């Protein structure tokens, strides 16, 4: 809380506006200028847009794909050359935690705008910045709940000597209720459509409301068995998601021409959605303006020089995908690999990639596949001629599984990239709706599945059978498992997996499992990967990391030591005392 107190001395300092907004920012605005006209409320609110998750950031909670509190690198599905202590279950109480101080500092700024808005004589003129402040206050408080559970709820910009700064944490339920209240107010204030590219809208508020309510509803259901509370929250999640669906302003990104010409005939709409730029970066010539799916994104432009070579950080051989993730992809008949007669096994280098959910091909590289990067081997025409400049995937390293999600194929000057990061996209809303409906009564109709999950599943799998109650029954499947599988596969490497395991209370089962690579024994790899030096497990699979643990305390992060010293009323999370 120490940093919060320091902010009081600098209430007129405004962060630089995020690069996606075409407004003229001022580095410092005095009180007599900030709050005397409507335009300055908006100018003050512009800083909020740099506070969301992104492709990478020095602030931990903002990291979308690199290591951070929400990152898949802290889950069970990917790993790197270094042990991730959070994924391994061996993290300790930190001396300091930038998430804690940064989140409260930013909540202060949202409260500062809202306090000054109360006395402004033309409320209609500042409706949008008020709505933005409420949206971000909810977003930031929700971050605190996900990370720490209980949190100090702050709805005023407090003076340095205010006793509330030294108070105890509010129960997580109170904080979530305030998030819900803030978002409902934001819905009333935000515009139907963005007044400028990248701005928040009513749909963004409904979508965040559905995310918050689903998270806490399932947490209460599986952690506390509080069925009444869970039902109330899951109803909110269902209805908010349904409202976005009915508003009809967004749809899944799809283009029939997005075929990776010369390599295969699988539609690549899923993959290319994540690397759209304001110049040609795909066979169909689609650009950011053609993205129909991103409800709210952290936006970038090439001239910003902000995002440093995500392609090299994610493409091919840096992010080690695990065997567990590879096995999650269904076969093209809609069945898991252990049930499908179409599954080709592991004997050859590419056997397991055959007859699978097309998102496996969209997301991962198979041995021998041709691909491009943005440094020396880039595409120029997106035709068969580009194959002459391609690279060839060599899967014989690390886990043996490689990714191409977030990979850019065009040349990038100075190694900088400018794709947008989806803070909220429509596919998440559809999957939230399906999960909320199911968890309310542990049943879901085929009609609701067709309105939501099946649209996501069949985006690049038009021939795959729909998920239906009869399909589940006929094949001995479990509906909850399949709904969760769909979410995991669709949102892979977008910062959802570890939070999902926590709210489902399945981390204690999933996280201690060994992280494995490809099967070596009895396969092509055994004969053709002579340099593989890692140990194998009893099934002959590469053992990336074993000895993993998960205690009940790991469901929440510990509060940092410095903050508890500053405020002795801050209790530590269970198990971390």
Q: How many whole angstroms separate alpha carbon 451 and alpha carbon 455?
A: 7
CB 107 within 8 A of CB 1: no
Q: Which residues contact 65 (CB under 8 A, 6 or more apart)?
A: 55, 56, 71, 72, 310, 313, 314, 406, 493, 494, 495
- Residue 262: pLDDT band (50, 70, 90) is low
* pLDDT, position 317: 66
CB 158 within 8 A of CB 113: no
Least Cα distance to 365 among 422, 324, 416, 318 occurs for 318
Domains 2-190+558-566 and 424-554 share a fold: yes
Q: How many whole angstroms separate alpha carbon 42 and alpha carbon 131?
A: 11
CB 189 within 8 A of CB 128: yes
Least Cα distance to 273 among 398, 419, 150 occurs for 419
Least Cα distance to 318 among 571, 577, 550, 78 occurs for 78
* pLDDT, position 399: 96
The answer to whether residue 461 scores a pLDDT higher than 70 is: yes
Q: How many whole angstroms separate alpha carbon 357 and alpha carbon 340?
A: 12
Is residue 543 classed as helix, strand or coil in its secondary structure? Answer: strand
Query: What value does the mean pLDDT of the chain take?
Result: 91
Domain spans of the chain?
2-190+558-566, 269-419, 424-554
Neighbours of 336 (CB within 10 A): 17
* pLDDT, position 340: 98
Both tokens assigned to 482: 């399949």
The answer to whether residue 22 scores a pLDDT higher than 60 is: no
Is residue 370 classed as helix, strand or coil in its secondary structure? Answer: strand
Q: Which residues contact 111 (CB under 8 A, 6 or more apart)?
A: 133, 137, 154, 155, 156, 157
Least Cα distance to 107 among 55, 54, 170 occurs for 170
Share of the chain above pLDDT 70, in %: 92
Using DSSP, how many helices (H) and how many strands (E) does the chain show? 22, 12
Both tokens assigned to 347: 């004997």
Alpha helices in 225-290 (DSSP H): 227-247, 269-273
Least Cα distance to 377 among 408, 404, 403 occurs for 408
Average pLDDT over residues 552-574: 96
b/e map of 237-273 (b: 16 or more CB within 10 Å)? bbebbbbbbeeebbebbbbeebbbbebeebbbbbbbb
b/e map of 484-510 (b: 16 or more CB within 10 Å)? bbbbbbbbbbbbbbbbbbbbbbebbeb
Both tokens assigned to 550: 């998960």
CB 338 within 8 A of CB 476: no
Average pLDDT over residues 219-241: 98
Handedness of CA 424, 429, 431, 435 (dihedral sign): positive
Q: How many whole angstroms separate alpha carbon 179 and alpha carbon 134?
A: 8
* pLDDT, position 33: 64
Element (H, E) at 542: strand 541-545
Both tokens assigned to 493: 């490497």
- Residue 3: pLDDT band (50, 70, 90) is very low
- Residue 15: pLDDT band (50, 70, 90) is very low
DSSP annotation of 292: -
Average pLDDT over residues 212-221: 98
Element (H, E) at 214: helix 202-223
b/e map of 291-306 (b: 16 or more CB within 10 Å)? bebbbbbbbbebeeeb
Average pLDDT over residues 59-80: 90
Least Cα distance to 374 among 303, 310, 288, 287 occurs for 310
The answer to whether residue 160 scores a pLDDT higher than 90 is: no
> 2-190+558-566 in CATH: which number?
1.25.40.390
CB 295 within 8 A of CB 455: no
- Structure confidence by residue, pLDDT tens digits, 173-212: 999 999 999 999 999 999 999 988 899 999 999 999 999 9
* pLDDT, position 305: 63
- Residue 302: pLDDT band (50, 70, 90) is confident
The answer to whether residue 521 scores a pLDDT higher than 80 is: yes
* pLDDT, position 307: 65
DSSP annotation of 408: -
- Residue 261: pLDDT band (50, 70, 90) is low
DSSP annotation of 232: H
Q: Which residue has the tokens 């408080």?
A: 141
The answer to whether residue 53 scores a pLDDT higher than 70 is: yes
Is residue 185 classed as helix, strand or coil in its secondary structure? Answer: helix
Lowest mean per-residue pLDDT among 41-50, 231-240, 250-259, 300-309: 300-309
Phi, psi of 283 (to 5 degrees): -60, -25
Per-residue H/E/C for 485-533: HHHHHHCCCCCCHHHHHHHHCCHHHHCCCCEEEEECCCCHHHHHCCCCC
Sequential DSSP letters for 63-96: BSSSSSTT-GGGSSSEE-SS--HHHHT-----S-
* pLDDT, position 20: 29
- Residue 318: pLDDT band (50, 70, 90) is confident
Please name the CATH architecture into which domain 424-554 falls: Alpha Horseshoe (1.25)
End-to-end C-alpha distance for the chain, whole angstroms: 20
Phi, psi of 355 (to 5 degrees): 60, 45
Share of the chain above pLDDT 90, in %: 77
The answer to whether residue 572 scores a pLDDT higher than 70 is: yes
Q: How many whole angstroms separate alpha carbon 142 and alpha carbon 148?
A: 10
Lowest mean per-residue pLDDT among 86-100, 241-255, 299-313, 523-537: 299-313
Average pLDDT over residues 330-334: 98
């Amino acid at each position: 809380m120490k940093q919060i107190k320091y902010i009081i001395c600098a209430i007129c300092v405004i962060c630089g506006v995020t690069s996606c907004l075409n407004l003229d920012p001022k580095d410092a605005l005095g009180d007599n200028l900030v709050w005397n006209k409507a335009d300055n409320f908006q100018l003050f609110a512009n800083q909020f847009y740099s506070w969301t998750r992104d492709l990478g950031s020095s602030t931990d909670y903002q990291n979308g794909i690199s290591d951070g509190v929400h990152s898949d690198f802290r889950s069970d599905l990917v790993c790197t050359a270094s042990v991730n202590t959070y994924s391994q279950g061996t993290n300790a109480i930190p001396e300091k935690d930038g998430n804690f101080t940064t989140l409260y500092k930013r909540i202060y700024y949202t409260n500062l705008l809202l306090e000054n808005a109360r006395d402004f004589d033309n409320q209609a003129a500042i409706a949008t910045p008020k709505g933005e402040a409420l949206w971000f206050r909810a977003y930031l408080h929700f971050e605190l709940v996900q990370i720490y559970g209980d949190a100090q709820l702050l709805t005023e910009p407090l003076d340095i000597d205010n006793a509330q700064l030294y108070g105890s944490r509010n129960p997580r339920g109170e904080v979530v209720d305030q998030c819900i209240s803030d978002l409902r107010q934001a819905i009333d204030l935000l515009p139907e459509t963005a007044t400028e590219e990248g701005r928040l809208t009513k749909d963004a508020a409904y979508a965040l409301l559905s995310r918050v309510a689903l998270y806490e509803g399932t947490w209460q259901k599986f952690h506390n068995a509080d069925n009444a509370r869970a039902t109330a929250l899951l109803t909110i999640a269902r209805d908010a998601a349904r409202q976005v669906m009915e508003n009809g302003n967004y749809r899944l990104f799809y283009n029939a021409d997005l075929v990776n010409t010369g390599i295969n005939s699988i539609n690549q709409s899923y993959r290319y959605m994540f690397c759209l730029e304001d110049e040609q970066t795909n066979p169909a010539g689609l650009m950011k303006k053609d993205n129909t799916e991103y409800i709210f994104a952290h936006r970038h432009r090439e001239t910003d020089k902000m995002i440093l070579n995500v392609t090299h950080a994610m493409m091919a051989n840096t992010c080690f995908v695990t065997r567990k993730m590879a096995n999650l992809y269904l076969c093209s008949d809609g069945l898991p690999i252990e049930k499908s007669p179409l599954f080709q096994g592991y004997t050859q280098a590419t056997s397991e990639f055959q007859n699978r959910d097309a998102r496996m091909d969209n997301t991962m590289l198979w041995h021998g596949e041709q691909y491009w990067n943005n440094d020396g081997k880039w595409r120029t025409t997106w035709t068969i001629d580009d194959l002459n400049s391609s690279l060839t995937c060599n899967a014989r390293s690390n886990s043996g599984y490689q990714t191409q999600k977030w990979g850019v194929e065009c040349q990038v000057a100075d190694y900088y990239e400018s794709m947008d990061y989806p803070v909220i996209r429509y596919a998440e809303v559809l999957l939230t709706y399906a999960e909320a409906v199911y968890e309310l009564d542990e049943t879901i109709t085929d009609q609701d599945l067709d309105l939501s999950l099946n649209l996501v599943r069949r985006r690049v799998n038009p021939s795959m059978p729909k998920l239906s109650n009869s399909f589940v029954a006929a094949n001995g499947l479990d509906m909850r498992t399949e709904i969760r599988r769909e979410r995991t596969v669709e949102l892979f490497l977008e910062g959802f997996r570890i939070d999902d395991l926590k709210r489902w209370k399945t981390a204690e089962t999933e996280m201690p499992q060994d992280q494995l690579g490809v099967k070596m024994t009895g396969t092509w790899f055994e004969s053709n990967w002579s340099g593989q030096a890692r140990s194998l497990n009893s099934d002959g699979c590469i053992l990336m990391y074993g000895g993993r643990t998960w205690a009940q305390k790991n469901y929440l992060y510990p509060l940092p030591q410095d903050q508890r010293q500053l405020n002795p009323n801050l209790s530590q999370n269970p198990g971390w005392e």
